[in-house]
Amino acid sequence: MLGALQEGPANASELARACSISPSTVATNCKPFVEAEFLTHDGEYEFTGAGLLFFDCFEDVTETLTTSEIAALSVSEHRLPILRSIAETPGRKSDLHHRDGLPSRTTIETAVTEFGVRGWVNEEVSGELSLADTGRTAMVAYEEFLDATETVLATTPFLRRLGERSLTIPVAALTDATPIEESQYDADALADAVLQLTETRADSASVVGIVPVYSPVLLQRFAPIFETGLECRYLLDAETAQRLRTSTYRHIVRTASQRPGVDIRVHHEPLPFGFTTDAERIVIGAHGSPTEYPAGLVSANRMLVNWAMDLHACYWEKAEPLSFEADDGGHRVESK
């Protein structure tokens, strides 16, 4: 069903015909994916950015496991713990029943029978169970699939706000990221993360970033960092630049832009996300709709840093130096 959606949005009837199932079965099976924000449903089902990343995870695991094998492990939350327990400590089925965290005897019997049919578990004449090589392969592949899925779920608020750009992020780049989601109780979480990154950077480091929104809080708190001689290349979009020019805090950026090592430019199209990186660590955030609080990530993943830097370079080529109208005579002051 998810494979059919790779071709584009489809309603329940279209998916039912494509998969030879009923529309009600489509609705039942799509519901958890909509709840996880992997699919949207507004008349038609359609992948979100997070959903496409999840489907990539699914396609990766199908290189090792068949869909039937994945179903055998995912049919119950107990299947993987039972398989792990056999891998860690071979024993009889009666032994498994007494191990912490494992389910009822009936559930264990059903799972072990399934594992035996698939050749994942060996049972000796004595009744002792041990994990076969095929079972270990299945267990490791499924664990990796679950880990990748959990990563996508944790970063879904950020990916949803990032929109189409999320489709270009490799899942592996998100594995060690720390999600950030602002709220009415923590409206400066991203600004705090940016400040922490710049304040703890190595003395020789410079920072590169994109600023897609005007933030008085960030401007005020960035002022002392600019005064330390921070080297930076920041890119603003046109709307942010215009708000900055009319802001009461414009002097902070105007003064900073005249310092050596500071280059601030304006891209004349909206920028889809913002970030700050010192080439080792990155804080990245996206805003989504005007009614949503921003969400983002903090990471030291090299792939994520390189992904952001590559996009910055593309936008930078089309950008122009930031300029301010002088207070006297209307002369323009440009960043170096």
Q: How far apart are CA 236 and CA 242, in angstroms?
A: 10
> Residues of the chain with pLDDT > 70: what percent?
96
- DSSP-assigned states of every residue in 24-53: HHHHHHHHHHHHTTSEEESSSEEE-HHHHH
**10 Å Cβ neighbour count for 15?**
22
- pLDDT at position 113 over 50: yes
E strands within 42-191? Answer: 45-47, 121-123, 129-131, 178-181
Q: What are phi and psi of 137, to 5 degrees?
A: -60, -45
312-335 per-position pLDDT tens digit: 999 999 999 998 864 433 344 454
The CATH code belonging to domain 67-142 is 1.10.10.10
Q: What is the mean pLDDT of residues 83-90?
A: 90
SS3 assignment, position 332: strand
| Contact call for residues 129 and 122 (beta carbons, < 8 A) | yes
Residue 334 is predicted with a pLDDT of 53
Residue 333 is predicted with a pLDDT of 47
How are beta strands 262-267 and 45-47 bridged, if at all? unpaired
Q: Indicate the average pLDDT of the chain.
A: 87
| Contact call for residues 90 and 130 (beta carbons, < 8 A) | yes
Residue range(s) occupied by CATH 1.10.10.10 in the chain: 67-142
Number of alpha carbons in the 13 Å side-chain half-sphere of residue 25: 10
CATH of 163-334, one of 3.60.40.10, 3.30.870.10, 3.40.980.10, 3.40.50.10490: 3.30.870.10
Residue 210 is predicted with a pLDDT of 93
